Amino acid sequence: MPRYAHVIGWGCYVPPKVMSNDELAKMVDTSDGWIREMTGIGERHIASPKESTALMAVHAAREAMETADVNPSDIELIIVATASPEYPFPATACLVQDALGADHAGAFDLEAGCSGFVYGMCSAAGMIRGGMFNTILVVGAETLSRLVDWNDRATCVLFGDGAGAVVLRGSEKPGGVIASVLGSDGSGGELLIVPGGGSRNPAGPETVTSGMHYIKMSGREVYRFATRVMASAARQVAQQAGWTLDKVDLFIPHQANLRIIDSAAKSLKIPPEKVFVNLEKYGNTSAASIPIALCEAIDTGRIKPGDKVLMVGFGAGLTWAACALEWTTPKHLAPPVQRTFLIRLRYNWFGIRSILARILRHVDAALSRLREVVERKLPVE
């Protein structure tokens, strides 16, 4: 029997701090009117010093798991799509696995720029269809405010922070992820890049003083690439799914620029009421943009059982990705699951258990060092 990968849980998190266009106008030569006209963005959420990619990913993941009503031990693989990981290594996904207490899960990061979440969805669906895993957590999380040059008007107005997650589970029931399209064109890699900090330009005084650790973007070239590839990827994935575009119930594009979204929708002849846009509230959250939009679309009733949902992203690489999703509502979600004290307690316990594991590891290491010292001081018999 063929297997299908269904979304059974979803969740998102954005930092409480909101930065409006007017606030940005006090920092750099811009205005609310200019930003809205050029991008469609009105505000963005910015992580506090205590918030990071891993922390936001954990918040979104816990919400997705609560919605799915799965235990951490049920998760077999965790994929975190991010261009702003917690560290170069270890993988942010491993930190998420530890915080969730998902003891039976493998974990890895996926870096495909703003296309990352859809790349992760497609990869997870393929693994489920192939029988490797049955339950996979896919997260898109970004703290791009840490990579933005707040003196560069071309980029600082665009990006925000946040995270979104879904739980995918295998089933013989048709539906879920029906088709996917992944693409890349590395010849355009320099058009959207953070040039410093890797093996090509290792971190040092020169890379810091020259601003190489900030996002650099060739806006016009990226715009031309995006308007072309969004529509073509959408057509390809719809064809693979056996859908005509007029049968698509909801189009969820990467939330990068309203003019790009409008251009793609117009090219595809998808009416505005079938296009989900929340760019005005969040800005471009890169790999988190589509999962945050998906969560909002579900929670506001824009997606119903049986709906055909088309998700398309593009980003650094250059990359693009599209996913055709036939929505199926899990049975346990009627009526919607409410968070309970016991659910929160369950996740708090896993967090405490992680802290205890670290303490025991340090104690064991200290005892080992003590034994070595004692053994070296004992006389040889």
- Please say whether the beta carbons of 288 and 163 come within 8 A: yes
Q: Is 254 a catalytic residue?
A: yes
At residue 60, the 3 state secondary structure works out as helix
Q: Which of 214, 49, 52 is nearest to 147 (CA)?
A: 214
Please tell me which residue in 122, 284, 295, 323 is annotated as part of the active site: 284
Q: Which of 256, 254, 188, 263 is nearest to 218 (CA)?
A: 188
- Please say whether the beta carbons of 320 and 312 come within 8 A: yes
Residues linked to residue 136 through DSSP beta bridges, in sequence order: 77, 168
- Please say whether the beta carbons of 10 and 165 come within 8 A: yes
Pull the structure tokens for residue 288.
């988190």
- Please say whether the beta carbons of 257 and 227 come within 8 A: no
Pull the structure tokens for residue 250.
């909801």
Radius of gyration of the chain (CA): 22
* Rounded to 5°, angle at Cα 105 from 100 and 107: 90
Please tell me which residue in 122, 254, 257, 323 is annotated as part of the active site: 254
Using the structure block, give the residue that is written with the tokens 């048709």: 174
Q: Is 284 a catalytic residue?
A: yes
Please tell me which residue in 6, 21, 59, 114 is annotated as part of the active site: 114
Backbone angles phi, psi at 18, to 5 degrees: -115, 135
Using the structure block, give the residue that is written with the tokens 């946040």: 162
The residues assigned a catalytic role are 114, 254, 284
